[in-house]
Structure 1
């Protein structure tokens, strides 16, 4: 029976565990979760999901054929300590932001089947937008398995690794941009006299409806926007302010800067981790 092991037991690990069980990708008895020392957290996951938990990484690596790296990025080297020699035909799946396949390979000291993934925090409710990229050693069968892992918590797209920084800037950080937008809409709603609780419900449903329209329509978002923008109407008046404030340019700059920062962090982690290994 194939087993999957998580090194790291934080929110992303839990989101994946919940999705894998709910989607019948893995049964609870096929899932092993470990962390360095937080027994209370492991007990919590064991009771909630029925998964096996352990502090013994060596046993986890021996038992599981898929290893998910879900610790904090700065702890990736420590996460591999003592188990490098046990990594053989395993599929290594990393959800660590800023840690490249090259860096993981350097820490392992050998080539391995490694897939990098960039999910987002909406994984917690099964709505993540995830992109994955694999090393040269990853087979098509392994890639399909990875797609099934991440489709259990949302959607999954395959990209080249050099595109993952852009994915990070777009959808990895994307939920925070939407939350920022909602914050602004809530403040505006109060200023124009709406009850904040009523406003919240209206904003949420507006976002859900607009998202669904984009998803099911064959029309470009710009066309959908034009169709609800009557000449000299309220929408046109509001859009004119967004244009005046250069909101489009701000969003483009925002995503570009987040992408650049992802590239910077990747270079920093690579230098620190590989240098410390020497």
Structure 2
């Protein structure tokens, strides 16, 4: 059972805290079965201990043999050193998880003993409010029980999607960078309302509620976005006029290109990161 697992966060930054907060709030695992450590910032560890009741320890004091899931949550540049320290301390039945940009299961496997279970995870910034779209990709040696346990654990941040690691770049284009596209859309919708004399705060709430409602409509039934769009688009009506303006200004193409460009850059950054880590 997941509730019996012990989880260690190697790194104590904002992502680690987002996950810890979700786990503690949802009572997925008891707080005293959560461990966090970092290289030197003892004040940060004390803050997390006081706030969440978890066990904040130095690396030397971490009970490696009792841990079920190790989560790499430091800066990516520190991953190789962290994996080197773990190599002789973990067993094949323990799972090493990366939430770091550019740190793949292959990279982890190359730095750990043969047969080690690894999982790569990619959340987005909505994890801070437990509404992330999070991707999960298991390594070559990871069994399905471990995948299911980690998927359940990550549910503290939102919804989890099991994907092939080769799909991580396009996932980044869709979900990793996705919130920014909607913020950009909201920014321009808000600007249009303010330019026509509406209160800025009211417009912001109207736009946010509109996007929230549209998202809930998609999630509450099996209809495709195109079908729902057609249902609210009366011939020669206001929505039809707005959509026609989007088409004339290549709005659809712009959205697709945003996803493709973000995915392309994700691949480039991952390759750059992997190259830098190998040569360092």
Q: TM-score, normalised by structure 1?
A: 0.94
Among 27, 35, 40, the alignment partner of 2:38 is 35
Among 64, 73, 76, the alignment partner of 1:73 is 76
1:21 match:
24
Q: Structure 2 regions of 5+ residues with no counterpart?
A: none
1:252 match:
256
Distance in structure 2 (CA, Å) of the matches to 1:148 and 1:82: 27
Total equivalences in the alignment: 276
1:61 match:
64
Quick one: structure 1 residues 58 and 107, their matched pair in 2 at CA, closer, same or farther if it must change by over 3 Å?
A: farther
Among 159, 166, 171, the alignment partner of 1:167 is 171
Among 195, 200, 210, the alignment partner of 2:199 is 195
Larger RCO: 1 or 2 (CA < 8 Å, sep 6+)? 1
RMSD across aligned positions (CA): 1.6
Distance in structure 2 (CA, Å) of the matches to 1:119 and 1:57: 29
Quick one: structure 1 residues 271 and 234, their matched pair in 2 at CA, closer, same or farther if it must change by over 3 Å?
A: same
Write out per-residue CA displacement over residues 134-153 of structure 1, whole angstroms, 9 at most, x where no aligned residue: 11211111011011011121
Among 229, 233, 244, the alignment partner of 1:225 is 229
Among 121, 125, 150, the alignment partner of 1:121 is 125
1:238 match:
242
Q: Structure 1 regions of 5+ residues with no counterpart?
A: none
Work out whether residues 103 and 274 of structure 1, in 8 Å CA contact, stay in contact via their aligned partners in 2: no
Distance in structure 2 (CA, Å) of the matches to 1:158 and 1:237: 39
2:40 matches 1:50: no
Distance in structure 2 (CA, Å) of the matches to 1:58 and 1:135: 28
Work out whether residues 4 and 31 of structure 1, in 8 Å CA contact, stay in contact via their aligned partners in 2: yes
Residue 57 of structure 1: CA displacement? Answer: 5.4
Work out whether residues 67 and 92 of structure 1, in 8 Å CA contact, stay in contact via their aligned partners in 2: yes
Distance in structure 1 (CA, Å) of the matches to 2:221 and 2:114: 47
1:8 match:
11
Distance in structure 2 (CA, Å) of the matches to 1:254 and 1:149: 31
Distance in structure 2 (CA, Å) of the matches to 1:146 and 1:83: 19
Residue 79 of structure 1: CA displacement? Answer: 2.5
Q: Which moved more, 1:75-84 or 1:246-255?
A: 75-84
Q: TM-score, normalised by structure 2?
A: 0.93
Distance in structure 1 (CA, Å) of the matches to 2:188 and 2:76: 32
Distance in structure 2 (CA, Å) of the matches to 1:237 and 1:58: 65
